[in-house]
Structure 1
Amino acid sequence: MSPEPPGVSQVVVEATGSAPGPELRTVPLRHWGRVPLAIIVIAAIVALLYAVAVNRNIDWSIVAENFTSSAILKGVGVTIVLTVLSMLIGIVLGIAAEVMRSSSNPVFASVARGYIWIFRGTPVLVQLIFWYNLSLLFPTVGLTLPFLGEVWSVETNILITGFTAALLGLGLNEGAYMAEIVRAGLASIDRGQTEAALAVGMRKRQALSRIVLPQALRVIVPPTGNEVINMLKTTALVSIISGSDLLTTAQTISSRNFAVIELLIVASIWYLALTTVFNVGQWAFERRLARQNGARTADRSERGRT
């Protein structure tokens, strides 16, 4: 009969010269202060909400009455339109500015750097006020052609309304920040992919639009979503130039009924609701983009195996 193989304990004793110790037991880390601190925080939040809810200086009937009033809803619509249009202008300008800045043409590159430097270096509120008062610099805006003279002219005050000034200020300012976001996204893509695209006969513009930008979206989309939410809140600055947005409408109503706090509550609830919707949209878009990128990666891996 062959000898019986040694057990685990015997092998351990022969290897280490001592018998194995008792099995170690994992003990979870105790957080003794977590529960009391959570109770204190919840109690403070509940007390604050109760104090606001029963405050005699707040007339909740005015809040309910104005929350869905036609004027407030119109202000909400203006805020949404301003946000969407300003972001579209900003995205287009940001991509164009970054393409110009990376151009080998020194004039284009200098213009793009100057644009980013000016609009990132000055407050957006100052820019809004500047565009709203552009008539002080140019009383009229017109078109003059050689041999024909002035063929078209209009007063600047008619052309630059509060909404137009808000769109110019927010859109041009956002374009400078989007240029930096696009730059970070393009920098995340290996330069070898551009060189490979050029080697197979693509032009630089084709390589950028077909190879680099689609991959850079993974880096560009998350901060762009944050910029959309930030833009939604930044539109409140338009109230300084009477832009007919949500906050401007709330202030106009409160100047008539003197319910300042109530109308601020109405505006705050609407801003919270809109930012929540945009947050959910951003989350869904990022998940979809991640699934698409994962599917492409899996497809490339499968092709590599075959």
Structure 2
Amino acid sequence: MDPAPTTQAPDARDSRPERRPWLWVAWVVLALLAAQVIAFVLRSDRLELPVVGEYLFAAPVLDGLVTTISLTAIATVLGALVCLARLSSLAPLRYLAAAWIAVFRSVPPLVQLLFWFNLAYLVPVLSIGIPFGPSVGEWSANDVITPWTAAVIGLSLYNSPYSAEIIRSGLSAVPRGQLEAASSLGLPARDTFFRIRLPQATRIILPPMGSQVISLLKGTSLVSVIAMTDLLGAAREVYTRTFEVVPLLIVAIVWYIVLVAVLTAGQSWLERRFSRGY
């Protein structure tokens, strides 16, 4: 009877790395493209890099930068508050939040900004009081709805449906069995949320929420159409006086890249922090 054939693993010393000639070709092509872009930037006089450096830290541009950051922060916080209503135990509040999300998720941000900026045409006087009864206070809509308030309202309403759904999906992804186990052990609802539910949900919420905040940051450039001086609006005000359009647009581009890079780095740090465990 012949012995059973045996299989022997190949010697690692005989293995050779797989050749990938196309990988080297891709690197060469990318290097040539990068060199071409660098050569264009250094040789082109139309970019006017000295003008870019002159206005990069100019006071109007920095003021517009602060406005852009403020709008992003306020709209992010106000948008996240809708999630509280979406997860409420009160059915009417949940239905109202669901209708809110369905409506404002359907309207483009530019349309919302223009609508709220022109609210005085629809409602000339804003009042607070008893329905079909006397009013306690009245204010002119033109005085209340400034470019700043219109920008905050429009961006918050645009961001709120997406932020609410991102947070809701993250909290809902935590297995219900863990919450029931915590309740059976006598853990208070507050501790259950902050020690069990929120840490796990944060790992799911962070990636899409980071992308949404970055999208909102770039979306703030739309407020320039309602005479709001954000980063892009500040750059436009300068180049309408100096006629140096491209250099000022490059200034705005540089600052947007810096802001997105900072947000991306912060998101990566938070993801690593929460990926260590619960």
- TM-score normalised by structure 2 residue count: 0.89
**2:19 pairs with 1:34:** no
**2:106 pairs with 1:121:** yes
Please tell me the residue identity of whatever aligns with 2:44. Answer: N
**2:96 pairs with 1:96:** no
Residue 177 of structure 1 aligns with which residue?
Answer: 162
Do 1:120 and 1:173's aligned partners in 2 also have CA atoms closer than 8 Å?
yes
Residue 161 of structure 1 aligns with which residue?
Answer: 146
Residue 236 of structure 2 aligns with which residue?
Answer: 251
Aligned length: 276
Do 1:97 and 1:179's aligned partners in 2 also have CA atoms closer than 8 Å?
no
**Distance (whole Å) between structure 2 residues aligned to residue 48 and residue 260 of structure 1:** 21
**Secondary structure in structure 1 of the residue aligned to 2:20:** coil
Residue 8 of structure 1 aligns with which residue?
Answer: none
1:124-203 correspondence to structure 2 within 5 Å: 124-145=109-130, 149-200=134-185
Deviation at 1:97, TM superposition (A): 3.7
Deviation at 1:193, TM superposition (A): 2.3
Residue 67 of structure 2 aligns with which residue?
Answer: 78
Question: Could you say which structure has the greater relative contact order, defined with CA pairs below 8 angstroms and 6 or more residues apart?
Answer: 2
**Secondary structure in structure 1 of the residue aligned to 2:105:** helix
Cα deviation, 1:129-161, whole Å, max 9, x if unaligned, reads 111111111111122359993332211121111
**Distance (whole Å) between structure 1 residues aligned to residue 9 and residue 72 of structure 2:** 67
Residue 290 of structure 1 aligns with which residue?
Answer: 275
Structure 1 pair 197/41, CA: closer, same or farther in 2 (3 Å)?
Answer: same
Please tell me the residue identity of whatever aligns with 1:43. Answer: L
Q: Equivalent pairs: percent with the same residue?
A: 36
Cα deviation, 1:215-252, whole Å, max 9, x if unaligned, reads 21111122212222222111111111122100011011
Structure 1 pair 142/209, CA: closer, same or farther in 2 (3 Å)?
Answer: farther
**Secondary structure in structure 1 of the residue aligned to 2:275:** helix
Deviation at 1:179, TM superposition (A): 1.6
Cα deviation, 1:185-235, whole Å, max 9, x if unaligned, reads 123211122333444567767754554233211111222122222221111
List alignment gaps of at least 5 residues for structure 1.
1-12, 297-306
Please tell me the residue identity of whatever aligns with 1:85. Answer: I
Structure 1 pair 79/19, CA: closer, same or farther in 2 (3 Å)?
Answer: closer
**Secondary structure in structure 2 of the residue aligned to 1:152:** strand
Question: How well do the aligned residues superpose, as a CA RMSD in angstroms?
Answer: 2.6
Please tell me the residue identity of whatever aligns with 2:18. Answer: L
List alignment gaps of at least 5 residues for structure 2.
none
**2:198 pairs with 1:213:** yes
Please tell me the residue identity of whatever aligns with 1:33. Answer: W
Among 44, 53, 57, the alignment partner of 2:42 is 53
Structure 1 pair 148/111, CA: closer, same or farther in 2 (3 Å)?
Answer: closer
Structure 1 pair 109/45, CA: closer, same or farther in 2 (3 Å)?
Answer: same
**Distance (whole Å) between structure 1 residues aligned to residue 7 and residue 207 of structure 2:** 56
Structure with greater Cα Rg = 1
**Distance (whole Å) between structure 1 residues aligned to residue 139 and residue 124 of structure 2:** 9
Deviation at 1:62, TM superposition (A): 1.7
Do 1:163 and 1:244's aligned partners in 2 also have CA atoms closer than 8 Å?
no
Do 2:81 and 2:164's aligned partners in 1 also have CA atoms closer than 8 Å?
no
Structure 1 pair 112/50, CA: closer, same or farther in 2 (3 Å)?
Answer: same
